[in-house]
């Protein structure tokens, strides 16, 4: 007796939850027991650890580059050195400030921030060395990458102010002594990495940076910035003004306020300004839509490949001996949902941890922490509830459709041909997300929330603009009814594909038969 002659249970009969669970567990464990799954799950953590380790190693392993300045004008060498020192002090201040917000006791953080703001990083380091010496040692900045040194004196005592003579230290014709102040007769092995040559070109200063390593950072950006600031000062001095006064005038210029009349007015008359915090709910909704799309995209593709593989190796025929079609459908959906959640969990954990660190460091949020509060309000119970609802409906909608296509396919190549239009549709549906961020009142976005393939993404991105509850309910209802229809249709296509061997020709014959009976 052939498989097509067996009296198999019809898909609309009652479902056995145990059989669904066993199929889901079988599919889930089948993937979990592979090396590829664990590599995919752990790769975000390994990547994060590897990235941090490489960043630390790159800072510590980068060689110190010896550079010198030949300033024929006698005006800019000290300015370049001071610019380097100021940049390092600013980096040190940021390191101490952000680290102190996490590592210092809460009652000392405000005083430490005030100390850094008023007296700089040097005073902050003195405070840490006196009160928390271990912490001060751990927060030590790496050594300065560029070390400025003077060229040694010649045998007769002359210096090397001539750039052509100094180039010999770049090309390796002369070696720098190990002690910076020695003479060239002393033994040494260090090579000069760069020479900043500052000179007068007519009535204006000019500079060249000589180096044999074109990719290494040098001193040119410091002198370029000094020249630009000096040019601005010269310009304003001609008009009997100053660059500082110009900056203050710009800061005092009026700025048009963007206001929202629906926002509550504070006692001081403010509170209705539109800020970055007002855009946060839409960005959070976009992030949820992206997670939904990623979960559906990765999960349904695994469903398709699993279906085709089990059809080719006859595993489905053995399952059908004791299991209904719909039980196989829902069992595989449940297994791959669990697998998808396990796969994306590391990314969610890393993103959530990164967001917590960023908010804790105060890198975003401002003095009154409005952005942090807006993020907390955006990730509300309403958002999470509707995300779970549309995640479930959208996953079943696309998952059952992909499984039906997998049952119709006769080979991997056939499956890829069948699935391409659905993947394109899934990708196009995601395009409603940028529309929802820029124009949340777009009629196209509203229409997309009632179109089943795009409804999960369009409805989520509309939530921050507070659409009428009946529209959200209607969107969920349409998607629910469409999902039931897709399950019904997929079960029959699945049954036909397994029993008849699949193929689009046979599938068209089935549709014609349905129409004929109608």
Q: What are phi and psi of 201, to 5 degrees?
A: -110, 90
* Residue of 292, 283, 282, 297 lying closest to 427 (CA atoms): 297
Domain boundary among 118, 138, 158: 138
Residues 430 and 345 both lie in one domain: yes
Task: Please spell the DSSP secondary structure of 49-64, one letter per residue.
Answer: HHHHHHHHHHHHHSPP
Inter-CA distances, 369 with 270, 358, 363, 479, Å: 16, 12, 10, 38
Residues 430 and 348 both lie in one domain: yes
Q: What is the pLDDT of residue 412?
A: 67
Count of C-beta atoms within a 10 Å radius of residue 56: 11
Higher pLDDT, 329 or 468: 468
Q: Which of 94-98, 352-356, 499-503 has the highest mean pLDDT?
A: 94-98
How many domains, in total, are found in the chain? 3
Q: What is the pLDDT of residue 184?
A: 42
Looking at the DSSP assignment, which residues form a beta bridge with residue 183? 153
Higher pLDDT, 309 or 284: 284
Q: What are phi and psi of 252, to 5 degrees?
A: -85, -5
* Residue % of the chain over a pLDDT of 90: 1
| Overall average pLDDT of the 71-85 stretch | 88
Higher pLDDT, 171 or 47: 171
Residue 226 has pLDDT above 80, yes or no: yes
Q: What is the pLDDT of residue 58?
A: 60
Higher pLDDT, 517 or 480: 480
b/e map of 398-408 (b: 16 or more CB within 10 Å)? Answer: bbbbbbbbbbb
DSSP helix/strand/coil, 66: strand
Instruction: Kindly state the tokens that stand for 205.
Output: 């200063």
Residues 236 and 321 both lie in one domain: no
Give the pLDDT band of residue 187 (cuts 50, 70, 90): very low
DSSP helix/strand/coil, 79: helix
Residue 437 placed within a domain: yes
Structure confidence by residue, pLDDT tens digits, 3-58: 444 444 444 445 677 777 777 777 777 777 777 667 767 776 777 777 767 666 66
Query: What's the order of all strands across the beta sheet hosting 192-201?
Result: 146-148, 65-71, 192-201, 204-211
Residues 332 and 479 both lie in one domain: yes
Residue 270 placed within a domain: no
Residue 202 placed within a domain: yes
Q: What is the pLDDT of residue 163?
A: 80
Residue 39 placed within a domain: no
Residues 81 and 229 both lie in one domain: no
* Residue of 292, 284, 465 lying closest to 390 (CA atoms): 292
Looking at the DSSP assignment, which residues form a beta bridge with residue 194? 67, 211
- Round the CA-based radius of gyration of the chain to a whole number and report it: 34
Residues 122 and 230 both lie in one domain: no
Higher pLDDT, 253 or 393: 393
Residue 309 placed within a domain: yes
Looking at the DSSP assignment, which residues form a beta bridge with residue 259? 273
Q: What is the pLDDT of residue 411?
A: 67
Higher pLDDT, 19 or 496: 19
Report the mean per-residue pLDDT for the chain: 75
Q: Are 65 and 146 in contact (CB under 8 A)?
A: yes
Q: What is the pLDDT of residue 428?
A: 85
Instruction: Kindly state the tokens that stand for 270.
Output: 């403010």
Domain boundary among 246, 261, 284: 246
Structure confidence by residue, pLDDT tens digits, 144-161: 778 888 776 554 445 555
Label the pairing between strands 146-148 and 65-71. Answer: parallel
Residue 188 has pLDDT above 60, yes or no: no
Give the pLDDT band of residue 122 (cuts 50, 70, 90): confident
Residue 366 has pLDDT above 50, yes or no: no
Residues 371 and 463 both lie in one domain: yes
Residue 220, H or E segment = helix 220-238
Higher pLDDT, 462 or 177: 462
Q: What is the pLDDT of residue 474?
A: 92
The structure's pTM equals: 0.60
Residues 398 and 501 both lie in one domain: yes
Q: What is the pLDDT of residue 273?
A: 72
Q: What is the pLDDT of residue 518?
A: 47
Q: Which of 228-242, 381-395, 471-485 has the highest mean pLDDT?
A: 471-485
Residues 407 and 454 both lie in one domain: yes
Residue 467 placed within a domain: yes
Residues 286 and 401 both lie in one domain: yes
Burial (CB count <10 Å: 0-12, 13-18, 19+), residue 413: exposed
* Residue % of the chain over a pLDDT of 70: 72
- In this structure, of 125-129, 163-167, 200-204, the range with the lowest mean pLDDT score is 163-167
Residue 394 placed within a domain: yes
Residues 361 and 487 both lie in one domain: yes
| Overall average pLDDT of the 168-191 stretch | 62
Residues 162 and 96 both lie in one domain: no
Higher pLDDT, 62 or 288: 288
DSSP helix/strand/coil, 414: helix
Residues 6+ apart with CB under 8 A from 54: none
**Domain around 97:** 74-138
Residue 8 placed within a domain: no
Domain boundary among 114, 138, 162: 138
- In this structure, of 45-54, 71-80, 84-93, 420-429, the range with the lowest mean pLDDT score is 45-54
Instruction: Kindly state the tokens that stand for 340.
Output: 């998808």
Higher pLDDT, 207 or 410: 207
Residues 469, 494: Cα–Cα separation, whole Å: 36
């Amino acid at each position: 007796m052939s498989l097509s002659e067996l009296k198999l249970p019809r898909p609309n009969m009652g479902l056995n939850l145990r059989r669904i669970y066993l199929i889901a567990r079988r599919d889930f464990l089948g993937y979990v027991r592979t090396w590829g799954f664990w590599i995919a799950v752990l790769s975000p953590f390994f990547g994060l650890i590897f990235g941090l380790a490489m960043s630390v190693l790159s800072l510590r392993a980068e060689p110190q580059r010896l550079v010198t300045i030949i300033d024929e004008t006698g005006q800019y060498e000290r300015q370049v050195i001071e610019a380097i020192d100021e940049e390092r002090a600013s980096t040190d201040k940021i390191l101490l400030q952000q680290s102190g917000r996490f590592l210092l006791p809460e009652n000392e953080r405000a005083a430490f921030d005030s100390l850094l703001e008023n007296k700089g990083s040097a005073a902050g380091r003195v405070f840490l060395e006196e009160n928390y010496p271990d912490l001060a040692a751990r927060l030590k900045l790496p050594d300065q990458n560029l070390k400025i040194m003077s060229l040694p004196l010649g045998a007769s005592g002359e210096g090397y102010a001539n750039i052509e003579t100094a180039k010999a230290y770049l090309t390796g014709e002369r070696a720098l002594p190990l002690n910076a102040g020695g003479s060239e007769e002393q033994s040494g092995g260090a090579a000069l990495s760069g020479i900043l040559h500052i000179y007068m070109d007519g009535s204006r200063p000019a500079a060249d940076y000589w180096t044999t390593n074109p990719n290494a950072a040098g001193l040119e950006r410091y002198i370029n910035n000094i020249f630009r600031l000096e040019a601005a000062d010269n310009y304003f001095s001609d008009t009997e003004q100053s660059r500082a006064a110009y900056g203050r005038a710009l800061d005092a210029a009026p700025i048009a306020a963007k206001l929202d009349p629906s926002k509550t007015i504070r006692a001081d008359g403010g509170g209705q300004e539109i800020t970055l915090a007002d855009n946060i709910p839409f960005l959070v909704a976009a992030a949820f839509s992206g997670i939904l799309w990623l979960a559906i995209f990765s999960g349904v593709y695994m469903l398709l490949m699993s279906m085709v593989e089990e059809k080719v190796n006859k595993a489905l025929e053995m399952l059908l001996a004791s299991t209904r079609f719909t039980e196989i459908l829902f069992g595989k959906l449940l297994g791959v949902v669990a697998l998808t959640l396990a796969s994306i969990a590391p990314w969610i954990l890393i993103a959530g941890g990164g967001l917590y660190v960023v908010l804790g460091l105060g890198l975003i949020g401002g003095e009154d922490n409005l952005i942090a509060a807006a993020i907390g309000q955006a990730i509300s119970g309403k958002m999470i509830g509707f995300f779970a609802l549309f995640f479930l409906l959208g996953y079943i909608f696309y998952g059952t459709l992909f499984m039906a296509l997998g049952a119709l396919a006769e080979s991997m190549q056939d499956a890829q041909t069948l699935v391409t239009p659905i993947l394109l549709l899934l990708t196009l549906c995601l395009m409603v997300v940028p529309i929802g961020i820029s124009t949340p009142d777009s009629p196209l976005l509203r229409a997309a929330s009632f179109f089943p393939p795009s409804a999960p993404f369009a409805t989520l991105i509309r939530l921050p603009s507070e659409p009428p509850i009946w529209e959200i309910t209607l969107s969920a209802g349409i998607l629910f009814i469409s999902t039931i229809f897709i399950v019904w249709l997929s079960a029959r296509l699945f049954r036909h594909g397994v029993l008849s061997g699949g193929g689009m020709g046979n599938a068209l014959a089935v549709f014609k038969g349905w129409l004929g009976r109608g």
